[in-house]
Every structure is written in C-alpha cells, then in structure tokens.
Amino acid sequence: MSQWLTLCSVDQILPGCGVCALADGQQIALFRPYADEQIFALSNIDPFAQASVLSRGIIAEHQGELWVASPLKKQHFRLTDGLCMEDEAYSISAYDVRVRDGNVELNTASLQAQTS
C-alpha cells in the first residue's frame, strides 16, 4: 500500500530549477523543468563525485528526454529514471512523486524499494 509524504509546496520549486528535500534521512533532488506541476525526483548524490549536489544541476533536453547535468563533473542523469547517459553503471535512484493540492508528495514505497 502506498503512503505519500509531503515534501514541499510545488510553488517552492521555481520552473527550470531543482531543490533538495530530506525524506526518511535521504536527500531527494526535486526538479520542475517547466511552469506546470510536473515534478521529477532523483537521488541528490552525484555518484561520480560522491557529493550531494544534483539538485543544483542544470536541466536540459537531449533527444526528446529531460536530463540533469551534475554541477561538478557534468555527467547527465535522466529525470524519468536516473539513467546516466555517460555510464549506465553509475545510474541513480528515481522516485515516484506527485503533486496533490499544490504539494509535492513522495511515494514512500518507492523510497523504501531503493534502499532495500
């Protein structure tokens, strides 16, 4: 059974930007590529630099897909599933999120599935 954890208001994420939220002790990078309410959630940890920086990355589109470029070493991670464009061995966790009543909510089952 899914449980949803409220992380923030969707208005706290500027279009074209990312923010970091803490959920169950894990850093989650939330991205809002456009002015609508579509939100993506990935691990905030850059696996190449072992640093908590992905929420500060640059959102870009490449071949019809949305990616975030790490601000440190510039590797690209697909917003939909965390796939690393340069090396699939370094792909990161992606989480189920939704916007409900103006709030960004994380599916705790997706969070727990990534840590098991």
Average pLDDT across the chain, whole number = 94
pTM, two decimals, is 0.94
- Asked, for residue 107, whether it belongs to a domain, the answer is yes
Whether residue 106 contacts residue 4, with contact meaning beta carbons closer than 8 Å, is answered with yes
The pLDDT tens digits for 73-93 are 999 999 999 999 999 999 999
Predicted local distance difference test score (pLDDT) of residue 51: 97
- Asked, for residue 92, whether it belongs to a domain, the answer is yes
- Asked, for residue 1, whether it belongs to a domain, the answer is no
DSSP 111: H
- Asked, for residue 9, whether it belongs to a domain, the answer is no
Whether residue 97 contacts residue 30, with contact meaning beta carbons closer than 8 Å, is answered with yes
Enter the tokens of residue 25. Answer: 């002790």
- Asked, for residue 7, whether it belongs to a domain, the answer is no
On the question of pLDDT at 7 being above 80, the answer is: yes
Predicted local distance difference test score (pLDDT) of residue 100: 97
What are φ and ψ of residue 63, in 5° steps?
50, 45
> Where in the sequence is the domain holding 60, given as residue range(s)?
26-115
- Asked, for residue 18, whether it belongs to a domain, the answer is no
- What total of structural domains would you count in the chain? 1
- Give the domain CATH number at 107: 2.102.10.10
